[in-house]
Amino acid sequence: MKKSRLLGAVCACVISSIPLSAFAVGVPSQGTWETTLLPRSLDGDNTTAEAYYDTVLEITWLADANANGRMTWDAANTWAAGLDFGPGIDEWRLPTMIDTGTSGCNDSRTGGTDCGYNVQTGSASITVYSEMASMFYDTLGNLAYYTPATGVPQPGYGLTNTGPFDNLQSGIYQPGDYWSGLEYAPDTGLAWYFYFNDGYQAIDFKGNGYFAFAVHSGDVGASIVPVPAAVWLFVSGLLALAGLGRQHRR
């Protein structure tokens, strides 16, 4: 009994010393996130990730995708602009996009426009048409509700991969609608948003309460020091021993 308690204490101690961000859930080989999102520290502890640098869009995403709950568009912009993690790590903003073609929402279920499903994404080396769409479709490899070019609903759509991010919203009771920083030119009472439930990009009234995902232009923060492989092997061994101990007691 004493041995069991001691083993549990050692496991808890070791696990608590490993950054929680290391356990972030992502789908391996889906999208490019494993190679294009680089962990960054914002709090001075170079073993924990509070942000991720996107090498495709050349921006840094805050790791917590729901750091302040639902907000109006104005409140979301104020919140993002007020983030300050020290010299050179202020000036945060909401993700932005480009209103392409005719000014306004050019809705399309089949894709290729600025509004609807399967919208344009892009990259910093060419043109970034929508930072959130690029994250959803390209980086995380998620699918829209409609199949491109056909307008037919497709299986497996939605936010199936959140990559390394925490609290990225998607669901019936907490729909994943996130404000863009771009105002709607034809009617300034509206602003653009992206819906992480099914990859839809559109417009809505600024007074509605949507979530906010903060980004920073360029690469900010400090590089993360990887946890040595030996530590993972040690923890795995301890957990295996704990499992054997439970079976023995039965």
Q: What is the pLDDT of residues 20-72, one digit of tens each?
A: 333 347 999 999 999 999 999 999 999 999 999 999 999 999 999 999 999 99
Alpha carbon of residue 230 to chain centroid = 29
CB-CB contact of 155 with 190 (8 Å): no
What percent of the chain stands above pLDDT 70? 80
**Looking at 25-74, which runs of residues are DSSP E strands?**
37-41, 51-54, 59-62
Instruction: Give residue for tokens 């439970």.
Output: 246
| pTM (predicted TM-score) | 0.81
Of residues 67, 24, 17, the one with CA closest to residue 47: 17
3-state secondary structure of 79: helix
Task: Report DSSP letters for 146-202, one per residue.
Answer: BPTTT--B-TT-B----TT-BS---SSSS--EEEEEEE-TT-TTEEEEEETTTTEEE
Return the minimum-mean-pLDDT range out of 15-19, 157-161, 197-201, 205-209.
15-19
Q: Residues 81-140: pLDDT tens digits?
A: 999 999 999 999 999 999 999 999 998 888 889 999 999 999 999 999 999 999 999 999
Question: With contact defined as beta carbons under 8 Å apart, do 169 and 211 qualify?
Answer: yes
Q: Name the strand (E) or helix (H) holding 35.
A: helix 33-36
In this structure, how many other beta carbons lie within 10 angstroms of the beta carbon of residue 125?
A: 9
Residue of 56, 16, 17 lying closest to 34 (CA atoms):
56
